[in-house]
Amino acid sequence: MFDMRRREFITLLGGAAAGPSLLWPLAARAQQPERVRRLGILMSVLDDTEGQARVAAFRDGFQQLGWHDGRNVRIEYRWSGGDASRAKTHAEELAALTPDVILAGGTTALIPIRHATGSIPVVFVGSADPVGQGFVQSLPRPGGNMTGFTIFEVSLVGKLLEVLKQTAPDVTQVVQVYSPGNSNAADYWHALETIAPIFALNVVAARVRDSGEIERALAALPGDGRSGLLLPPDAIITAQRDLIITLAARHRLPAVYPFRFFVMDGGLMSYGPDNRDLYRRAASYVDRILKGEKPADLPVQAPTKYELVINLKTAKALGLDVPATLLARADEVIE
């Protein structure tokens, strides 16, 4: 009996001695901090008010999902300003950092990222035709390392021409101003050629690479109110928007722009998707990928919010009388 109790005591003593050594690794693992994830962001637009607003919308949506820069995620920013060579350099820099996800703002950013990596997950905002441009295999099943949000539908061109013709009924010619490097412009042009005759409009293409070519192209147009401008989403056009808005006023050219911020800066009118909403929605895709989902399984989404914005001050300066029916449809009227 004594020997049996002695053996039980030794067993208990040995277990007590071994217990802490077995429990310490578990406790240490439980106390280890969560791995900080890394996100790369490459933006096509300039590092200005609009660019910052888009990033702010993304960050707001991202934080609501529990991600905080410097705490559980580290965000690396790069801005190309529409410069293709700078975008290429920045895309290679981000790929070399091997982030968990890259957010690409605009096609100018997306093209060099595609060349820089075929394995890092990418969420894009801004491609007009991701299937035609080879970014994804299909919209419902992207199939590769990319997915995201488009900004273009063919029907959008019809809306642009409709509001332009209603505001400036004397316009008989519409000029599409874009940069040759804009791969989305071809989709706009094909739609424009198809739809313009419905509005009794002739179409002209003005390809511009810099401020000098923009000045020459717009100065060559007659300032008689019969020529109007259509500007698709374009990094160069966005970067040169102050110049374009000034020249459109100087040469009396009614213009319809792709986004609200052009009108806030003095442009006549815009009709297009709410970019900030797209960036806010993009946060959910980055979140889902960080939590283990694959871009190949996340369908490419289209805009759900569009905005018609009209600048009455600019219309008055151009001698245009905006119909009350169009003003009633506007999401915002600047007076």
**Averaged pLDDT for residues 207-223:** 94
Lowest mean pLDDT among 117-126, 179-188, 303-312: 179-188
Mean pLDDT of the region 251-273: 95
- Going by pLDDT thresholds of 50, 70 and 90, the confidence category of residue 51 is confident
Q: Would you tell me how many other CB atoms lie within 10 Å of the CB of residue 66?
A: 10
Q: Return the pLDDT at 200.
A: 95
* Statement: residue 172 has pLDDT above 90: yes
Tokens matching residue 249: 């006023």
pLDDT above 50 (res 224): yes
Residue found by looking up tokens 């805009």 in the block: 303
Position 24 scores a pLDDT of: 47
User: For 159-188, what is the mean pLDDT?
Assistant: 91
Residue 2 — very low, low, confident or very high, per pLDDT cuts 50/70/90? very low
Helix (H, G, I), strand (E, B) or coil at 101: strand
Average pLDDT over residues 17-27: 47
Positive or negative CA dihedral for 104, 90, 135, 127? positive
In the chain, what are the domains? 37-152+275-297 (3.40.50.2300), 154-272+306-334 (3.40.50.2300)
- Which has the minimum average pLDDT: 55-59, 149-153, 277-281, 318-322? 149-153
DSSP track, 163-204: HHHHH-TT--EEEEEE-TT-TTHHHHHHHHHHHGGGGT-EEE
Say yes or no to pLDDT of 21 above 50. Answer: no
CA distance 258 to 256: 7
Percentage of the chain modeled with pLDDT above 70: 89
Least confident interval from 12-26, 170-184, 191-205: 12-26
Residue 181 has pLDDT above 60, yes or no: yes
**β pairing state of 146-150 and 122-127:** parallel
pLDDT, tens digit (0-9, with 9 covering 90-100), for 102-136: 999 988 899 999 999 999 999 999 888 899 889 99
**Digit-coded pLDDT (tens) for 64-101:** 999 999 999 999 999 987 788 999 999 999 999 999 99
The pLDDT of residue 6 is 45
pLDDT (mean) for 46-61: 87
Higher pLDDT residue, 331 or 80?
A: 331
Residue 320's contacts (CB-CB under 8 Å, 6 or more residues apart) are: 167, 168, 254, 268
Q: For tokens 């001695």, name the residue.
A: 17
Asked if 39 and 75 touch (Cβ cutoff 8 Å), the reply is yes
